[in-house]
Amino acid sequence: MKKIDYKNFCTDTYGKLFTQYYAPIHQAAIEQSDNGELQEKKVFELNAISQKKAITDTTIYAIKEYPEVEPALIWKAIYEAHVHRKSGVNDSIIISNVISADQSWKKSSGHAFEEIIKSIGSDAVKSEGISIVLQKDMNILLKENLVSNEVRDIGWLKEQINASIFDLYALVEKDDKNYCFGCIQSKTSIRDRVTRDREPSINAMKAFFWSSIIVLDGDFLKNDKFISMVNGGSSEFRQNGWHGMYVFSKQYNNDRIYSTDIEMNNFKEHAMEAADYWLTQRQWFDHNWKAKTGHVAW
């Protein structure tokens, strides 16, 4: 059955893509070296580049190929493929290799998920004059004075970047100028970090920016506490933590929590609404703002 085959698909695709990405840059690096050998630091760097690209592309391909499978299960299958590739089969070093593989997965996969959101998010909104950029891209735009927000905004945005607060930013074009109107967090899972992630989101809303979060694994939302962290309305969490949370799963759709898919149509609709409201009525763009369209992916 196709549903069962997603694990093999993930394993085969990840392995092939890693080799496809690693081989040419490894060969180029050897040719450029003085003695035809590479230092361990350089090999690690090339591995990291190839891993991130392989994780990114395998995830997108697998979610498209198996829309009936929970994306969190696909992510886990790619993780297992990654650990298997890194750990090898030598029993004497298997434990240390697995630990090393797990650490490299955490580092590469987090950045890969950010790249995934940039890719599919940008594809969803680019026809509307909106762009989604990574933190490092935003930093460059600010340094080159290509963001036309007011001076107060620019200072605040630079503070967020210096502290690595948000993973991505949303910009809208108006009269041939780019304005940052949104701050975005992207997390594979935020169970252990949700309180820490919530606070900067609230600060962004206080600064009159659209604040959203995109999550791969929404398992934590089975707990009422975490739902309240997003939507507010409880004695502990009176205020909503984000304008909207977008979860790659059919299971979760509750007030400001939206089930989404790889097309991210509801994210697109909400980004369009947020950009328009930010440009026309920003003085009212506080935490109470909510997208009018409640469209979900399924």
State pLDDT tens for residues 141-193: 999 999 999 999 999 999 999 999 999 999 999 999 999 999 999 998 876 56
Contact 45, 108 (CB under 8 A): no
Gap between the Cα atoms of 73 and 92, Å rounded: 30
Q: What is the pLDDT of residue 222?
A: 87
DSSP-derived 3-state class of residue 208: coil
Q: What is the pLDDT of residue 298?
A: 45
Q: Taking Cα atoms as reference points, which of 281, 217, 277, 213 lies closest to residue 248?
A: 217
Q: What is the pLDDT of residue 89?
A: 45
**For residue 293, what pLDDT band results from cuts at 50, 70 and 90?**
confident
Residue 95 has pLDDT above 60, yes or no: no
Q: What is the pLDDT of residue 4?
A: 59
Output the pTM of the full model: 0.81
Gap between the Cα atoms of 232 and 225, Å rounded: 9
Percent of the chain clearing pLDDT 90 (strictly above) = 72
Q: What is the pLDDT of residue 260?
A: 94
For 70, other C-beta atoms within 10 Å of its C-beta total 19
Residue 7 has pLDDT above 80, yes or no: yes
Sign of the Cα torsion 9, 11, 17, 20 reads negative
Q: What is the pLDDT of residue 243?
A: 97
Tokens of 230: 């997003």
Residue 2 has pLDDT above 60, yes or no: no
CA 244 to chain centre: 14
